[in-house]
Amino acid sequence: MNLDNSFNAMVTGINGHSMTIGILGAPINNGNMGCLALTYSLLAMLEEIANDLGTVFTYYNFEGVEDPTKTHILCRNLGIEEERVKSFNIYPVESFLGLCHRPHKVFATFSALKECDLFIDLTQGDSFADIYGDSVFNKNANGKLLVEKVLKKPLILGPQTYGPYQNKKNKEKAKRAIDKAALVIARDEASMQYVKYFTDKEVYTTTDLAFILPYKSGGLNRSTTVEHATTSEHFNIAVGVNVSGLLSKNKLETTPTEFHLKTDYDAYIEALLSWLINADYNVSIIPHVVADYEYGRLIAEKFPRVKLVEMYQNPMDIKSKISEFDIFIGARMHATIGAFSSGVATIPTAYSRKFNGLYESVEYPYIVDLLNSSTEENLEMTKMYIKDYVKLKVAAEKSMDYINLLERQTISLLKEQIIKC
């Protein structure tokens, strides 16, 4: 996006002045590496914008109780001074009970909210929907409306999935929040079209922020050439499998869900691992959420030849680990994004339309559809993709050129809105 003279004049006006940005839906203290990947990526992007504008941003994160250790890890990895990152819990502010039980914390949080110049909300990437239940939806929607209607501050809805809204009241509430936003960005074409179906709001389409998450390239086990891939024994090919505690029948994650999968996920995972082991692939289980580790522990007991990788404490480290594999199969979308953006042949196993929307938008068709295909169909599809993994790797590399352009568009959109404030 080219800046005209008036835009350049606004840029000149912001130079040297600090700004406080409120962050919603992008936690620092969280056991889900996908949510943290969004937070890290957003702050990395904002730091680039601040540097370009010759200013300094202070970040107020309104997604939970402050954990000094987690804040320290984030700031150390991104090169941000710790005093510029503060955490508050917005959710008691939204309720009368919160005011009654913790009035001092409510007032402190409300004062911090009023100090912010603008807000950016990512809603954990896919939680501005009611597939996780009405309670989760209302908690996220109320934060947006608090900023827009009570504080009357500009709210940017950053790249994310919108919907589905199965409840009519939820859709109406979402419409109010979207209509009042200063800027709305979808991370895929399907979400953009969905929003346009029930609002008149202008929606920009870019892509998920986590594609730009920094990492240290592993590459220790990678079969990066066609010659090596087609002549090596399978045990030289490293396969990372991200298993999801969210989808297992063991109910290792307590989040309410309404996915209605056609695939029996546990049966699919066990059949896939049996096939990989019998074919002599070098297989590791990669948890991306705490519940995944618990599920992985159960699987490792059944399959002793499978290595269970430790639960990492920040998304940059887990992405660095994922980058070591030749093939990555995952049900956590941001785990697959970590693989995809680090040059690994990636097989996303989709449990919601966010997968299809995102990967179709970047012209990557190699998805296993847990929603609409049977266990047997998906197992055969996965085997086919594994056998042809070099083609997947090449396709991902081509898509990354387009993704990088979309990320630059996100930066331009955010920068323009920041300057307006």
pLDDT digits (tens), the chain, 421 positions: 444 444 444 444 455 568 999 999 999 999 999 999 999 999 999 999 999 999 999 999 998 777 899 999 999 999 999 999 999 988 766 554 444 556 667 888 899 999 999 999 999 999 999 989 999 999 999 999 999 999 999 999 999 999 999 999 999 999 999 999 999 999 999 999 999 999 999 999 999 999 999 998 865 444 444 344 444 467 789 999 999 999 998 877 777 666 789 999 999 999 999 999 999 999 999 999 999 999 999 999 999 999 999 999 999 999 999 999 999 999 999 999 999 999 999 999 999 989 999 999 999 999 999 999 999 999 999 999 999 999 999 999 999 999 999 999 999 999 999 999 8
Q: How far apart are CA 257 and CA 266, in angstroms?
A: 16
In this prediction, residue 258 carries a pLDDT of 66
Q: Which two tokens stand for residue 19?
A: 């700004």
The helix/strand/coil state of 315 is helix
Q: How far apart are CA 26 and CA 85, in angstroms?
A: 13
In this prediction, residue 218 carries a pLDDT of 64
In this prediction, residue 394 carries a pLDDT of 96
For residue 164, the 8-state DSSP code is: -
In this prediction, residue 362 carries a pLDDT of 94
Residues ≥6 apart with Cβ < 8 Å to 24: 62, 63, 90, 119, 120, 121, 122, 123, 143, 144, 147
In this prediction, residue 99 carries a pLDDT of 47
In this prediction, residue 108 carries a pLDDT of 85
Residues ≥6 apart with Cβ < 8 Å to 112: 22, 60, 62, 86, 88
Q: What DSSP letter does each residue of 23-42 carry, written as one string? A: EES--SS-SBHHHHHHHHHH
Type of residue numbered 257? T
In this prediction, residue 224 carries a pLDDT of 42
In this prediction, residue 7 carries a pLDDT of 42
The helix/strand/coil state of 280 is coil
Q: How far apart are CA 404 and CA 320, in angstroms?
A: 19
Q: Which two tokens stand for residue 55?
A: 């200013």
3-state helix, strand, coil in the chain (%, to 5): 50, 15, 35
Distance of CA 415 to the CA centre of its chain: 21
Element at 8 (helix H, strand E): helix 5-14
In this prediction, residue 195 carries a pLDDT of 96
Number of Cβ within a 10 Å radius of residue 96: 8
